[in-house]
Amino acid sequence: MNKSELATAIAGKTDISATKAGEVITAMQEVLAEQVAKGQKVTVPGFFSLERTERAERKGRNPQTKEEITIPAGFAAKLTAGSALKNAAKGN
Protein backbone atom coordinates (compact mmCIF):
# COMPACT_ATOMS: atom_id res chain seq x y z
CA MET A 1 0.00 0.00 0.00
CA ASN A 2 1.43 3.37 -0.97
CA LYS A 3 0.62 6.80 0.49
CA SER A 4 -2.24 7.62 -1.90
CA GLU A 5 -3.84 4.21 -1.32
CA LEU A 6 -3.51 4.75 2.43
CA ALA A 7 -5.11 8.20 2.13
CA THR A 8 -7.99 6.72 0.14
CA ALA A 9 -8.49 3.96 2.73
CA ILE A 10 -8.51 6.50 5.57
CA ALA A 11 -10.97 8.68 3.66
CA GLY A 12 -13.25 5.66 3.29
CA LYS A 13 -13.32 5.15 7.08
CA THR A 14 -13.81 8.82 7.98
CA ASP A 15 -15.74 11.79 6.71
CA ILE A 16 -12.71 13.57 5.21
CA SER A 17 -11.52 13.62 1.61
CA ALA A 18 -8.57 11.59 0.34
CA THR A 19 -6.72 14.87 -0.24
CA LYS A 20 -7.22 15.91 3.40
CA ALA A 21 -6.20 12.42 4.59
CA GLY A 22 -3.03 12.74 2.50
CA GLU A 23 -2.29 16.08 4.17
CA VAL A 24 -2.76 14.47 7.60
CA ILE A 25 -0.36 11.65 6.68
CA THR A 26 2.24 14.18 5.48
CA ALA A 27 1.85 16.21 8.69
CA MET A 28 2.24 13.04 10.78
CA GLN A 29 5.43 12.14 8.91
CA GLU A 30 6.82 15.63 9.53
CA VAL A 31 5.99 15.56 13.26
CA LEU A 32 7.50 12.08 13.70
CA ALA A 33 10.69 13.10 11.87
CA GLU A 34 11.01 16.33 13.89
CA GLN A 35 10.58 14.58 17.23
CA VAL A 36 12.97 11.73 16.42
CA ALA A 37 15.55 14.26 15.17
CA LYS A 38 15.30 16.01 18.57
CA GLY A 39 15.90 12.69 20.33
CA GLN A 40 12.31 12.43 21.58
CA LYS A 41 10.54 9.08 21.79
CA VAL A 42 7.13 9.00 20.10
CA THR A 43 4.62 6.42 21.32
CA VAL A 44 1.20 5.48 19.98
CA PRO A 45 0.03 3.20 22.82
CA GLY A 46 -0.54 -0.38 21.72
CA PHE A 47 0.58 0.34 18.17
CA PHE A 48 4.23 1.44 18.04
CA SER A 49 7.01 3.47 19.56
CA LEU A 50 9.65 5.27 17.54
CA GLU A 51 12.93 6.56 18.92
CA ARG A 52 16.40 7.65 17.90
CA THR A 53 19.24 5.33 18.84
CA GLU A 54 22.99 5.83 18.80
CA ARG A 55 25.22 3.59 16.74
CA ALA A 56 28.82 3.14 17.81
CA GLU A 57 31.71 3.35 15.39
CA ARG A 58 32.30 -0.05 13.85
CA LYS A 59 34.34 -1.94 11.31
CA GLY A 60 32.91 -2.80 7.93
CA ARG A 61 34.11 -4.09 4.60
CA ASN A 62 33.92 -2.49 1.16
CA PRO A 63 32.03 -5.13 -0.86
CA GLN A 64 33.85 -4.27 -4.10
CA THR A 65 37.44 -4.20 -2.86
CA LYS A 66 37.03 -6.31 0.32
CA GLU A 67 39.05 -3.59 2.08
CA GLU A 68 38.24 -3.07 5.76
CA ILE A 69 36.79 0.36 6.52
CA THR A 70 35.67 2.21 9.63
CA ILE A 71 32.00 3.15 9.69
CA PRO A 72 31.62 6.31 11.79
CA ALA A 73 29.30 6.57 14.79
CA GLY A 74 25.87 7.95 14.04
CA PHE A 75 22.18 7.70 14.73
CA ALA A 76 19.38 5.43 13.53
CA ALA A 77 15.62 5.25 14.03
CA LYS A 78 14.18 2.28 15.92
CA LEU A 79 10.52 1.29 15.59
CA THR A 80 9.10 -1.11 18.15
CA ALA A 81 5.74 -2.72 17.41
CA GLY A 82 3.11 -2.55 20.13
CA SER A 83 0.72 -5.34 21.12
CA ALA A 84 -2.10 -4.30 18.75
CA LEU A 85 0.28 -4.20 15.77
CA LYS A 86 1.84 -7.54 16.74
CA ASN A 87 -1.61 -9.15 17.03
CA ALA A 88 -2.64 -7.73 13.64
CA ALA A 89 0.50 -9.21 12.06
CA LYS A 90 -0.39 -12.60 13.56
CA GLY A 91 -3.88 -12.36 12.10
CA ASN A 92 -5.61 -12.13 15.48
Total domain count for the chain? 1
HEC profile for 23-45? Answer: HHHHHHHHHHHHHHHCCCCEEEC
Q: What is the CATH number of the domain that holds 39?
A: 4.10.520.10
CB half-sphere exposure, 46, CA atoms < 13 A: 3
- Whether residue 48 contacts residue 20, with contact meaning beta carbons closer than 8 Å, is answered with no
For residue 92, pLDDT beyond 80: no
Question: Sorting pLDDT into bands at 50, 70 and 90, what band is 74?
Answer: very high
Residue 67: give the domain boundaries: 3-90
Amino acid sitting at position 51? E
Question: Sorting pLDDT into bands at 50, 70 and 90, what band is 76?
Answer: very high
Q: Considering just the CA atoms, what is the radius of gyration of the chain in Å?
A: 18
Q: What is the tens place of the pLDDT at every residue in 39-72? A: 999 999 999 999 999 999 999 999 999 999 999 9
Q: What is the tens place of the pLDDT at every residue in 7-30? A: 999 999 999 999 999 999 999 999
Q: What pLDDT score was predicted for residue 63?
A: 94
